[in-house]
Amino acid sequence: MDGTGRGSKLRSFAIGGLVGAAGAIATVRRSSHRSRRPHNAPGGLAAFEDAPCFLELVGEEAQRYREGGGGEISIGSPNST
């Protein structure tokens, strides 16, 4: 084995170490940022429960259920082509 193979392996190792260190630093910096969402704000789907469009949809489904169409669930209007 000549010296070029050894130098190439060392250079590859050094570059890999730098890329790994940069990734670790980026991960630490990213996880240390505070969330823009307040701590007492609901997460996931609970965040949409007070939205006017959600309340309207729930009201429409409740009305259809009371009128006797309770077996169907609305998933939106079908696309007509």
Indicate the pLDDT class of residue 79, thresholds 50, 70 and 90: low
Indicate the pLDDT class of residue 50, thresholds 50, 70 and 90: confident
Alpha-carbon distance of 54 to 61, in angstroms, equals 11
With 80 as the cut, is the pLDDT of residue 29 above it? Answer: yes
Tabulate helix, strand, coil % of the chain (nearest 5). Answer: 60, 0, 40
Q: Round the average pLDDT of the chain to a whole number and report it.
A: 78
Mean pLDDT of 60-81: 70
